[in-house]
């Protein structure tokens, strides 16, 4: 008879294991620096007031819980395009974008990976290049979509900076027409983004090799606090005429992690036929979407649409993004100045140059283990801390702990 008895046990996802260990830890001083979710200065999740307001506005007698179309909520999709590409984007006006609402950023990366894998296959598996290090799910998603996944060098442990030369060299040596995953801003886990000059070097080599940029933009508004500035890299590539994929998440910037609001955009390069190509791409994305989720979750998209389309709510959102990103900057500065004041061994200046939700501490595996076992401080094994987990109540304890384990 049919049996699944020979299915081997898979390892637990390391990040979710860490979250479980944290939950099970009964020590009252424990600190969670694992998950990339914003916490306020009391260590609590923050429901953005603008989200509460938009949610209240939805509660009219006409509101219902009907299905959305396969592609998602049109008012949300159009606003999401404008947010990422700019109101005056030629790609929008020339109708050469194909957009689908997805199950947050993860679903967007997944839909894009599935689509590209299916339609750009020659005799060999297509190649996807992802940064070393990156969000671990990039590897899983692209390999499950049957890409041959390789890492390109990104972070240099010695300099604690981006190794742009090694990255460019790797992109140069990769087979032409590879898919290259780029994080649009607030790189996870390093907190380091290329400068504008470096982005232009990356674009040069990618144009020369005919690579496809696949932007994963999960933190728009978190890097600088400014939504426009944080979409600069995507807009720059599109402005140069690249054919381009973008995965856009509203989990972090609207603080709607569990509502799963996101979009996948495929931007066709300018050509007389571009809007027809985009239509055909939309038709294929709809087939994939139908088989996978039928249609995307509605509730969060309705909230996001309200915020994005109402000028007053939009202004309030920008203000609240500023609150989150400036708190993270302040926490980083505080860690740095406190460790320097203690003369904790090591160089901590990098904390000031990193941006976004995370800092890459450079702590060793042993130090990270000790932080967990002795101090009940939980961070991922690569030494990444989610800066939002620190606040005035646990900062001194954290500094004591780091000072202890590095001495
Ligand atoms: N991409 C990156 C780089 C991320 O860090 C994350 C979340 O941590 C995501 C995508 C996906 O997030 P979500 O699926 O919650 O939108």
Percent of the chain with pLDDT over 90: 95
| Centre of ligand 1 from the C-alpha of residue 241, in Å | 26
| pLDDT band at residue 99 using 50, 70 and 90 as cut-offs | very high
pLDDT greater than 70 at residue 66:
yes
User: Where is 268: in which H helix or E strand?
Assistant: none
271-288 average pLDDT score: 98
In this predicted structure, the answer to whether residue 122 has a pLDDT above a threshold of 90 is no
Q: Where are the alpha helices (DSSP H) in 120-239?
A: 137-144, 164-173, 196-209, 232-239
Tokens linked to 389? 């987990």
Q: Which long-range contacts (CB under 8 A, 24 or more apart) does 43-48 make?
A: 43/389, 43/391, 43/393, 43/394, 45/255, 46/255, 46/324, 47/255, 48/254, 48/255, 48/317, 48/320
Q: 215 near 182, Cβ under 8 Å?
A: yes
What is the structure's pLDDT at 304? 98
Q: What is the mean pLDDT of residues 163-175?
A: 98
pTM of the model: 0.96
Closest atom of ligand 1 to CA, residue 262:
16
CA 109 remoteness from chain centre: 10
The residue nearest atom 15 of ligand 1, judged by CA position, is 251
Report the separation in Å between the CA atom of 102 and the middle of ligand 1, taken as the mean of its atom positions: 12
Which H/E stretch holds residue 158? none
Is 216 part of the annotated catalytic residue set? yes
249 touches ligand 1 (CB under 6 Å)? yes
Task: Note if 29 is an active site residue.
Answer: no
Dist CA 93 CA 100 (whole Å): 17
Averaged pLDDT of the chain: 96
Separation of 187 CA from ligand 1 center, angstroms? Answer: 11
CB 372 within 8 A of CB 14: no
Band (123; pLDDT cuts 50, 70, 90): low
Count Cα neighbours of 402 within 13 Å in the Cβ-side half-sphere: 27
Q: Which residue has the tokens 């989150």?
A: 324
Q: Please name the residue that has the structure tokens 């990255």.
A: 167
Mean local confidence (pLDDT), 259-277: 98
């Amino acid at each position: 008879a049919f049996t699944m008895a020979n299915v081997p046990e898979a390892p637990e996802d390391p990040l979710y294991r860490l979250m479980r260990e944290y939950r099970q830890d009964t020590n009252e001083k424990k600190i969670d620096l694992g998950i990339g979710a914003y916490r306020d200065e009391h260590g609590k999740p923050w429901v953005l007031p603008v989200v509460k307001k938009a949610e209240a506005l939805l509660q009219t007698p006409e509101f219902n819980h009907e299905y959305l179309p396969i592609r998602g909520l049109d008012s949300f999709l159009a606003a999401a395009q404008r947010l990422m590409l700019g109101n005056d984007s030629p790609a929008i006006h020339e109708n050469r974008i194909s957009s689908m609402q997805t199950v947050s950023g993860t679903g967007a990366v997944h839909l894009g990976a599935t689509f590209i894998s299916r339609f750009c296959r020659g005799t060999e598996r297509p190649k996807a290049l992802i940064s070393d290090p990156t969000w671990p799910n990039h590897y899983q998603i692209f390999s499950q979509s049957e890409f041959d996944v390789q890492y390109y060098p990104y972070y240099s442990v010695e300099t604690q900076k981006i190794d742009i030369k090694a990255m460019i060299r790797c992109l140069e040596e990769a087979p032409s027409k590879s898919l290259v995953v780029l994080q649009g801003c607030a790189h996870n886990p390093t907190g380091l983004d290329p400068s504008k000059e470096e982005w232009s070097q990356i674009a040069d080599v990618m144009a020369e090799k005919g690579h496809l940029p696949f932007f994963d933009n999960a933190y728009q508004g978190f890097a600088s606090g400014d939504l426009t500035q944080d979409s600069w890299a995507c807009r720059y590539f599109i402005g140069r005429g690249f054919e381009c994929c973008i995965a856009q998440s509203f989990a972090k910037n609207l603080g709607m992690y569990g509502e799963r609001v996101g979009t996948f955009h495929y931007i066709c390069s300018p050509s007389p036929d571009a809007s027809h190509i985009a239509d055909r791409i939309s038709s294929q994305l709809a087939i994939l979407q139908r088989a996978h989720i039928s249609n995307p979750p509605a509730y969060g998209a309705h909230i996001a649409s309200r915020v994005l389309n109402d000028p007053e709510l939009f202004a309030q959102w920008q203000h609240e993004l500023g609150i989150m990103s400036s708190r993270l900057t302040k926490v980083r500065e505080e860690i740095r100045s406190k460790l320097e004041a203690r003369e904790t061994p090591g160089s901590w200046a990098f904390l000031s140059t990193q941006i976004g939700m995370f800092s890459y501490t450079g702590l060793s595996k042993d130090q990270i283990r000790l932080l967990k076992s002795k101090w009940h401080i939980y961070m991922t094994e690569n030494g990444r801390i989610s800066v939002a987990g620190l606040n005035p109540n646990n900062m001194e304890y954290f500094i004591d702990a780091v000072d202890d384990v590095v001495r």
